Amino acid sequence: MSVIGARDFTDAVSLAVTYDGKQFQVAPKWGISTLPETLEWLLWADRLGFCAECEKLFEVTSYRWKYCTDECAKRATDRKWRQEYRSKLKKGPAKKGRRK
């Protein structure tokens, strides 16, 4: 079994689940990918997951399914909060075309 990083994997391909009325079909979908969706699929499929923060492979449990440790969960939540806070403070392109 080869291990690929979650970031490499989701940049290239994501899995689309469709339901045609009779059965579910899973097909790889190139180009468009959302990390949470793909992670959910990986977790559902084999009970192993890539930590969404440090991208290490870890065993999924009922209480730990997205991040390998509480530390990673906290770090990710903190960063997300800060990003949202910053984008509220100043709207518009962040680093593009710096104005004088």
Tell me which residue of 10, 50, 49 sits closest to 30, measured CA to CA: 10
Distance CA 37, CA 53 (A): 15
- Provide the minimum distance between the beta carbon of 12 and Zn ion in the complex, in angstroms, as a whole number: 22
Beta carbon nearer to Zn ion, 5 or 26: 5
Is 52 a binder of Zn ion (CB under 5 A)? no
Pick from 15, 35, 54, 76 the residue near Zn ion by CB under 5 A.
54
Q: Which of these ranges, 2-10, 17-25, 71-79, 87-95, lies near Zn ion under the rule CB under 5 A?
A: 71-79
Query: Helix or strand or coil: residue 22?
Result: coil
CB atoms within 10 A of CB 100: 2
Pick from 14, 50, 51, 66 the residue near Zn ion by CB under 5 A.
51
Q: Which of these ranges, 15-23, 26-34, 68-76, 86-94, lies near Zn ion under the rule CB under 5 A?
A: 68-76
Is 53 a binder of Zn ion (CB under 5 A)? yes
Element spanning 40, H or E: helix 35-46
Tell me which residue of 6, 11, 45, 10 sits closest to 26, measured CA to CA: 45
Give the footprint of Zn ion on this chain (CB under 5 A).
51, 53-54, 68, 72
